[in-house]
Amino acid sequence: MSKVLMKGNEAIAEAAIQAGCRYFFGYPITPQNEIPAYMAKRLPEVGGCFIQAESEVSAINMVYGAAGAGARVMTSSSSPGISLKQEGLSYIAGAELPCVVVNMVRGGPGLGGIQPAQSDYFQATKGGGHGDYHLVVLAPSTIQEAVDLVMEGFDIADQYRNPVMILGDGMLGQMMEPVEFRPLSSKRELPPKTWATTGYTGDRPRNIINSLYIDPQVLEEHVKKIYQKYEEIKKNEVKVECYNCEDAEIIVAAYGTTARIVKSVIQKAKQEGINVGLIRPITLWPFPTSTFEEWAQREHIKAFMAVEMSMGQMVEDVRLSVNGKKPVFFYGRTGGMVPEPNAILAEIKKVIGGVLR
């Protein structure tokens, strides 16, 4: 299939449809409005259903119902709306329902702004809602990658019965790039949804979608079972890109669109004779801990630096992974400000000067 030029938000919506998603429940918020608009137009064409819900709270609970009924279902929002969805996400994780949730992050806290940000990293990777659970968090840096990850995200959700979050930002949603809708390279054996509430006809046990376990012993067992699943996910699903690390003296950790800016910085730095590497986590949860561990042991790597559109969130996971073997620095802009290549480069030079002195 040939390439088409598409906005990130629209490409993500089309990818969901091509992945078999037929149900979408959402609520308007900038900068992700093209996703529900695209779904409202396209889903009826493929026999699906779009509802503009009365709130993000309702939308995520419609997702709960539809996922529980066995459908591939998606919702999307941006930061303040994703906060409202946290209740539902906790229930969905607790009830082990598969779904895909898109967060086109904007600056916060509060109403914040509408420009791109990465300040929802903690919320996305550390739980967000109440209780012991994780989302699988995928962070694309190009529109092509966003499309591929949305399609694979539905498979991951179905395989592990766990919600998957696509963590983008306003920039990724609004920009256009050529994109190709192609079948996934890896075919997964997906378990049949025998647990779905489709009607109790007597040919299987009664199905109940539920996250209530009033007996603490039983609840602990349930959570432990979910965490066994998370161990499997950690083993199987980590995705990470290492770029220009072989000869680097410093490694920058960045994800999403920030990683693209860092790649520009790396090219600039090369011209000045500075070798900078990039580790780009593609899965933010599970975090590519071992990749950082490995590079931290290399002699030629003097330091790490996380660059984020936040006040420093992923840097905590970088520090945990590097585990004191090398110093870890941070540079970030927030509130919708995008770090400038020259500023990042200046920061890198400062670190190199300091570490090597």
One residue of 20, 37, 40, 57 binding other proteins per CB under 8 A:
57
Q: How far is the CB of 173 from other proteins (least distance, A)?
A: 9
Nearer to other proteins, 204 or 300 (CB): 204
Provide CB contacts within 8 A for 141, sequence distance 6+.
172, 255, 256, 257, 259, 260, 280, 282
Only one of the segments 151-159, 161-169, 199-207, 247-255 lies at the binding site for other proteins (rule: CB under 8 A); that segment is 199-207
Task: Please list the residues that pair with 4 across neighbouring strands.
Answer: 179
**Residue from 55, 70, 62 nearest 24 by CA:** 62
- Footprint on residues 83-102 left by other proteins (CB under 8 A): 87-88, 91, 95
**Which range binds other proteins by CB under 8 A, 12-20, 232-240, 309-317, 334-342?**
334-342
Cα–Cα distances in angstroms (integers) from residue 348 to residues 8, 242, 265, 324, 326, in the given order: 30, 18, 10, 19, 15
- Least distance in angstroms from the C-beta of 144 to other proteins: 10
By beta-carbon proximity to other proteins, the closer residue of 173 and 288 is: 173
Sheet strands side by side (includes 99-105):
49-52, 23-26, 73-77, 99-105, 163-169, 136-138, 283-285
Minimum CB distance to other proteins, residue 355 (Å): 25
**Least CB distance to other proteins at residue 299 (A):** 28
Residue 219 identity:
L
User: Any contact of residue 219 with other proteins (CB under 8 A)?
Assistant: no
Pick 108 or 286: Cβ nearer other proteins: 108
| 58 lines the binding site for other proteins (CB under 8 A) | yes
Question: What type of residue is 98?
Answer: P
Cα 50 to Cα 56, 72, 196: the distances in Å are 14, 13, 21
- Count of CB atoms within 10 A of residue 91's CB? 22
> Does 110 interact with other proteins (rule: CB under 8 A)?
no
Contact 170, 115 (CB under 8 A): yes
Find the binder of other proteins among 37, 40, 53, 242 (CB under 8 A): 53
305 binds other proteins (CB under 8 A): no
150 vs 42: CA distance, rounded Å: 17
Neighbour tally for 334: CB within 10 Å: 19
Contact residues for other proteins, defined by CB under 8 A: 3, 5, 23, 25, 30-31, 49, 51, 53-55, 57-59, 61-71, 73, 87-88, 91, 95, 114-115, 170-171, 174-178, 197-202, 206-212, 257, 260-261, 263-264, 267, 338, 340-342
